Structure 1
């Protein structure tokens, strides 16, 4: 049987079709070598182990986690034969593999975002003292979610909770959480807080919370954010960029709302401490009012006495000046012109006399 003769381009196309059919997607683990970024758009590197090496290509915006030479990574890729006949992997995503690589990638991205000011304390916003509407980004199947809901309701019931069900680990987790955050931020009436939670896990399980795009989405949120991921010792970049970091999902609920019973106890204690002061103030006011009344009565009584004394004095003077009283003492009143020949009227205590003036002399 005669084999078909293919052109180079046809041969490469056949090989790529075969590869795509046999391996539509592969995950390859190895060490990064010859890492470089071209024109701030394209990323090239080799992934190798002790027996082999293969070239990798991806775009800058696909690289969600920083990598560098010597770092062990896992790439999700499609194998491909380039038109130059070079076998390579077209990478869809890359993530660090192993504790050392994860830590190194974490430190690289942390330094980058810190330099941009994303972790500055001045960016942090205060949470409302008692939110009535809370948005939750989590997996409802996770134990951390159940703990959060229980503690929130136990501490302060009646909070309206809106949940965006997402994956919280794995390759698709960051994009799902980003979409959920964006969804809540686009609502006409915004929730008061966005809470992102998941329970504990290994470093690989929590890798999604160190995704650069997710961290930037949290930083962009118009709504104050709380992130409670893993256990108290786990620290992700999502924790660092959030307005408030909760040690665990349970702690996130404790941060969001006060304990109703504790609030009642506190209010009762305050009332108990204030009541004696209120009673004392009332007693002081009562005594002050009584004293003012007593002083006012004394002032009025004194004023009355003074007025009575003045009236008595005036009455005495009036009596003394009464013409009747003067006549009773033997005096007489003369009415008329004091001219010789004039007739005048003389009034005594007992009679009124008429007399003619015979003589007038000066004193």
Structure 2
């Protein structure tokens, strides 16, 4: 081996083969410097600490959260010796901020980017059905959050068709697993009515999965209305900001998803009681109105009858005055026969009938 002569290319290949065998991947924490993006496709920067610095290189699509100079990051990379440029560098496979300051900075950068694109706009938000019958859930089925979620929906409503996709909810593979689950549910012939994503509380680093840019975009682009409950009430992630409805916790997600049947039963009883009372009131009020209308009708009828009787009395007086007997009582007489000489006339008085002979007829 001491006398082994190698070409430059052979040496570079040997070094890379040795590195690939001995250190296929390395995980390194350092500070970002000289960060830049070339042609929108390639990302390069230097990773440094107090004593050393190393070049890093990656494809832009692998950058899942914004990075800037001064941020502390953790990278998973493959060490390589670039034969063309004669430089040793790290080919990055994954990168994420570490430390509270860097995590917050990355979050704020991506938040501003997505907000500028309108992904948080209220007009994009869809409402959830009041009582869904078919629900998809993405979470770790081994978590306490999932157990709490199932307990609450069964206590409050139950009877739903719930499909569950088990994924990791923290760590490097988690975001991609959740993305695949979202794509799966969105590809179904019969779509669920709601897509629920839940996980319990944790540190800022534990919740970083839900600040992944690709995951946030996948949630925003879901054909199914989304309900996201991640962490505790004080925790805010990009996943719940782009969702249609944010839940403060997994338990709150279950409470938002379905109503409490006990509350509904109580509400129905109250409404029935109120409706019965309102119905009785309406009947009473209607009875009062009907009685008033009947009283008015009877008064009008009585007034008309009184008027009719009064007119009838007047007519009776007039008819009585025209009665021939009444005329005879006043001393008048009725004559029957022809007014000519020698003719017999019948004279009717009130009490007698008299026959008389016409002796004289003169013109008046």
Same fold by TM-score greater than 0.5: yes
In structure 2, the residue matched to 1:179 is: 180
- 2: CA distance between counterparts of 1:127 and 1:352? 114
The Cα of 1:44 is off from its aligned counterpart by 0.6
Measured after TM superposition, the shift of residue 242 of structure 1 is 2.2
Greater alpha carbon shift after TM alignment, 263-272 vs 136-145: 263-272
Structure 1 residues 299, 344: CA separation in 2 closer, same or farther (over 3 Å shift)? farther
Q: Deviations over 1:220-257 (max 9, x none)?
A: 23333221111222221212222322221011112223
Q: Cα offset for 1:42?
A: 0.7
Matched, 1:24 2:24: yes
Give 1:23 deviation, angstroms: 3.0
After TM superposition, give the deviation of residue 61 of structure 1 in Å. Answer: 1.2
CA–CA separation in structure 2 for the residues paired with 1:103 and 1:178: 23
Q: In structure 1, the residue corresponding to 2:206 is in which secondary structure?
A: coil
Long gaps (5+) in structure 2: none
Say how many residue pairs are matched: 360
- Answer with 259-268 or 33-42: which moved more: 259-268
Indicate the residue corresponding to 1:124 in structure 2: 125
Structure 1 residue 32: deviation in Å?
1.6
**Contact 1:344 1:357 (C-alpha < 8 Å) held by counterparts:** no
Alignment pair present for 1:70 and 2:70: yes
- The answer to whether the aligner puts 1:145 opposite 2:146 as a matched pair is yes
Answer with 75-84 or 2-11: which moved more: 2-11
**For residues 1-363 of structure 1, what are the structure 2 equivalents within 5 Å?**
5-84=5-84, 85-272=86-273, 275-323=276-324, 326=327, 330-333=332-335, 348=348, 359-362=361-364
Task: Note the C-alpha offset of 1:71.
Answer: 1.7
Computed over aligned residues only, the root mean square deviation of the Cα atoms, in angstroms, reads 3.1
TM superposition shift of 1:169: 1.1
- Unpaired segments of 5 or more residues in structure 1? none
288-297 vs 143-152, which deviates more?
288-297
Specify the SS of the correspondent of 1:119.
coil
Matched residues in 2 for 1:345 and 1:183: separation?
Answer: 129
TM-score scaled by length of structure 2: 0.85
CA distance in 2, matches of 1:243, 1:78: 39
Report the CA distance between 1:213 and its aligned residue. Answer: 1.0
2:87, 2:25 → 1: CA distance?
Answer: 18
Does the Cα contact within 8 Å between 2:54 and 2:89 map onto a contact in 1? Answer: yes
Shift of the 356–24 alpha-carbon distance from structure 1 to 2, 3 Å rule, reads farther
